[in-house]
């Protein structure tokens, strides 16, 4: 794929190096933040 869009969640789950290169953020931190938000909302996170 040379063009298109993916969700941030998909990017940090399946392509963490690319996610870090594009966003400048650590994908593990993004995952942890999503987990904390999901826990507060009483939801499970999925890719």
- Give me the phi and psi of 13, to 5 degrees please: -80, -45
**pLDDT tens, position by position, 1-47:** 678 899 989 998 999 999 999 999 999 999 999 889 989 888 766 65
Predicted confidence at residue 24, as pLDDT, reads: 95
pLDDT confidence of residue 47? 54
pLDDT of residue 19: 93
CA distance 21 to 24: 6
Alpha-carbon span 8 to 32, nearest angstrom: 13
Q: What is the 3-state secondary structure (H, E, C) of 1-47?
A: CCCCCCCHHHHHHHCHHHHHHHHCCCHHHHHHHHHHHHHHHCCCCCC
pLDDT at 20: 94
């Amino acid at each position: 794929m040379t063009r298109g869009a993916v969700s941030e969640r998909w990017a940090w789950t399946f392509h963490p190096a690319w996610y870090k290169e594009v966003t400048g953020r650590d994908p593990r931190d993004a995952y942890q933040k999503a987990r904390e938000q999901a826990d507060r909302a009483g939801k499970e996170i999925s890719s």
